[in-house]
Structure 1
Amino acid sequence: MEIEGQVRIPSGCAIAAVISKEGRRMPGSIVSEAMRPMHERSNGLGGGFAGYGIYPAYREFYAMHMFFDCRDTRKSCEAFLKERFELVQSELIPTRKMPSITGEPIIWRYFLSPFPSLLRSLQLDEKEFVARTVMKINAEIKGAFVFSSGKNMGVFKAVGYPEDVGEFYRLEDYAGYAWSAHGRYPTNTPGWWGGAHPFTLLDWSVVHNGEISSYDANRRYMEMFGYQCTLQTDTEVITYIMDYLLRVQGLSLAEAASVVAAPFWSTIESKTEHREKHIYLRSMFPSLLITGPFSIVLGFTGGLMALNDRLKLRSMVVGEKDDRVFIASEEAAIRMMEPEAEHIWAPAGGEPVIVRVKEGAY
C-alpha cells in the first residue's frame, strides 16, 4: 500500500520559460531539457514550445505553422492562402523520427505577407487580416489547423512528453531570445496535436497550468468579437482574450493582467493606488475574469509575462542570472537551465511578472 509522501501527486501540467533581456539568442534545447525534471507533471498527451527571434532571415513575414490531415487538404488550403498572401517560402517543418511520437500529421510552414491591395479593399490592418484568416482556416477548412502565425517566432507542439517533442522538432537547430515550454496533463479535454500548448494568435503565445472554470462565459464573450474556439481545450480562449485586450483594446500588459486575474472587490476598495483604474477594468470587462486555478506564461514579440490566478492555486517560481530571467512550475527546471540561478522567488497571486528585451536588441 502506498502511503503519503511515497507517491508524487503533481498539480497538473508543467510550464517553463527563459528570456534574455539583452536579446541574446539561445538554442531551443535549453528549455526542452528543462522539462525533464518535471516529467511526472505530464502524461504524454501533449508537449510544446514557443520560440521568439528564431526566423531572422524571414523576420518581415508571418510564419504560419500548420497541421494537415492529408496532402489534398494541404493543397486546398494552400490555394486559399495564395488568394490572400504572397507566399515567400513553403516547406515541411524538419523533424526526426521518435518511437514515442506517433500519428503525426503533415507539419508544414509558410512564410507569407498579405496582399496590400486586399488590405486596402477590406479596410483592415494586416494583423487583423491575419487573425481573421487563422480563424477562418481553423473553423472552416476540415483537417487543417494553423497553430502558429506570428512574425519571427514559431510554435512546435505534438502529442508526447515535452522532452521528446523537443527532440522530434530538432529544437537544437533553432535559436531565439525567448522560449516557453509546456508539458500537458489534460483533465477534461482531449489529448491531440492541435490541443497541445502553446496556443497562439499572431505573436501571442500562451502556456497554461490549471483549469478555467469560467471558460464558457469567457468563450461566449470572445465569440461576440469574431474569435472562434475550435481546438477543444480551455486554454485557447486565454490567447484570444489577451489578443483582444492588448491588440484590439490597447490595454497595457499590467492592465490586461488586472482584467483576467482581477483583484477582489474588497481588495480594490482597500487600495489607495490605481483604485479607480481597477474599478474601471473590473466593470468594463467582467466577462473576461478568468476563474479557476492557473499559472500562465504569455509570450510576445520582445518579452514574456508570467501570471498566477489571484488565489495562487498553481505553483510558479522565477529566477535570474546575468541578463536572463527564468520561469517554471518548479525550481528544479530553473536549475536545469541555469544551475547558478539567483533570486529564486514565487510571484504573488494576480501580480504579473513582466520581462522585456532591451529596445532594439531583437
Structure 2
Amino acid sequence: MFYNDLIAKQETENILKANYIVALEEKIPTRKTAHIKNAPLIYRYFAIPKPEKLKLSELDENEFTIKFVFNINSNIPGAYVFSSGKNMGVFKAVGYPEDVANFYKLESYKGYMWLAHGRFPTNTPGWWGGAHPFNLLNISVVHNGELSSYDTNRKYLEEFGYICTLQTDTEVAVYIFDLLLRKHGLPIELACKVVASPLWKQVDRMSPKEKILYTNLKIIYGRALLNGPFSMIIAYEDGFIAINDRIKLRPLTAAKKGNMIYVASEEAAIRQVCKNPESVWMPRGGEPVIAELIRENEKEMYSTKEVTA
C-alpha cells in the first residue's frame, strides 16, 4: 500500500481489518537514498478474507480482493493498493532503476522471475502509483509504448466491474489479461491473439477452422484489442508472456541460456545480465513468447515457445 498520510492509512486499515484476518502488517523495509524523494508511507499486509465476510459477499477470494482493491483506490484519497497477489511483490517508485533497487533493498529478496521497467512518462503524469509494474492479483505488467485504444478498453472493462483510476494506459492491459485468463478462462495463446489479433487479411488466408475461431475472437473481444505501438511483458504465477503490437511498432527481443529465459526491448539489455546467451531472436509483431515454469521433482525450470496464427 502507498499512503500519502496517516489519515489515509487509518481509513484503509479500518476497512482492511473489518474484512480480512491480518496475520502480519509492517512497513516495507527501505533505506535512505539520495535521489528517491517524496516517498509515501509504504506498508504491506499478509491477510486472508474473513470467512463470514467472504460467505456473505457470495464471491470467491479473488473477486473479493479485487473489490477491496478498487474500493480503496477509488474512494480513499491518498491511498493506493499497488500489489495484491500471493507469493509475489511489486516495488515501484519515481527514480532511476538503480536508486529504486537500493531504496527497497532488493538485494535481500530472491525470486524465480523478475520484471523491471524504467518508465519515462509522456502523455501521463509521473507519480509513484503510475510507475511500473502494474499489478492485480498475480498478474503484473510492464509496458513500453502507448495504447491508443485506452478509452475503448476502459469502457469495455467497466462493464465487468473494473475501475481505472491510475492515470496511465498500462492499467487496462493488466485488467484485460485478468479478465481473459482468470474470469473467462481463455488459454494463454488465445488471450494473446485477442490483445494482438491477426489482421482481417491474415484471417482471410487461414484454414476454414482457424478462420471461424479468429473471426469469433475478433467479434466477441473486439474491444479488448490493444491498439497502438507497444511491447509488453505479462507475468503470472506460472510464467510470463512477452508480446508486442501486431505490426511491431515497438522492439522486443528474447534470448535463452540453459533453463533461463530473457526478454527485453533491446538485445543489449539482455547481455547486461546474460553475457553469452545460447540463442537470441526477435519475435514478429503479435507473436508472443510464452515462458512457462515447469516443476519437475521440485526443480524449477522454464520452457519457451512462440505462438503463430
What interval of TM-score do these two structures reach, taking the shorter chain for normalisation? over 0.9
Select the residue among 165, 190, 214 that pairs with 2:125. 190
Alignment of 1:199-238 (within 5 A): 199-238=134-173
Select the residue among 255, 270, 274 that pairs with 1:334. 270
Alpha-carbon offset, residue 111 of structure 1 = 0.5
Query: Structure 2: 5+ residue runs without aligned partners?
Result: 301-309
Alpha-carbon offset, residue 274 of structure 1 = 2.6
1:7-61 CA distance string (max 9 Å, x none): xxxxxxxxxxxxxxxxxxxxxxxxxxxxxxxxxxxxxxxxxxxxxxxxxxxxxxx
Amino acid at match of 2:27: L
Q: Does 1:143 align with 2:67?
A: no
1:151-185 CA distance string (max 9 Å, x none): 00010000011221111111111000100101111
Amino acid at match of 2:267: E
Alpha-carbon offset, residue 72 of structure 1 = 2.2
Q: Does 1:108 align with 2:24?
A: no
Amino acid at match of 1:282: K
Q: Does 1:174 align with 2:109?
A: yes
Identity in percent? 51
Q: Secondary structure at the match of 2:115?
A: strand
Q: Does 1:240 align with 2:165?
A: no
Q: Distance in 1 between matches of 2:76 and 2:187?
A: 34
Query: Which stretches of structure 1, 4 residues or longer, exceed 6 Å deviation after superposition?
Result: none
Select the residue among 275, 279, 304 that pairs with 2:240. 304
Amino acid at match of 2:239: G
Alignment of 1:79-158 (within 5 A): 79-158=14-93
Select the residue among 264, 286, 289 that pairs with 2:199. 264
Q: TM-score, normalised by structure 2?
A: 0.94
Q: Distance in 2 between matches of 1:170 and 1:145?
A: 21
Q: Secondary structure at the match of 1:349?
A: coil
Q: Does 1:78 align with 2:18?
A: no
Alpha-carbon offset, residue 333 of structure 1 = 1.3
Alpha-carbon offset, residue 275 of structure 1 = 2.5
The number of residues matched between the two structures is 297
Alpha-carbon offset, residue 199 of structure 1 = 0.6
In the alignment, what sits opposite 1:54? none
Alpha-carbon offset, residue 186 of structure 1 = 0.9
Q: Does 1:319 align with 2:255?
A: yes
Alpha-carbon offset, residue 361 of structure 1 = 4.8
Amino acid at match of 1:355: A
Q: Does 1:349 align with 2:285?
A: yes
In the alignment, what sits opposite 2:303? none
CA RMSD of aligned residues (A): 1.1
Q: Secondary structure at the match of 2:82?
A: strand
In the alignment, what sits opposite 2:187? 252
- The structure whose RCO (Cα within 8 Å, separation 6+) is larger is 1
In the alignment, what sits opposite 1:7? none
Q: TM-score, normalised by structure 1?
A: 0.80
Q: Distance in 2 between matches of 1:275 and 1:356?
A: 27
Q: Distance in 2 between matches of 1:186 and 1:193?
A: 12
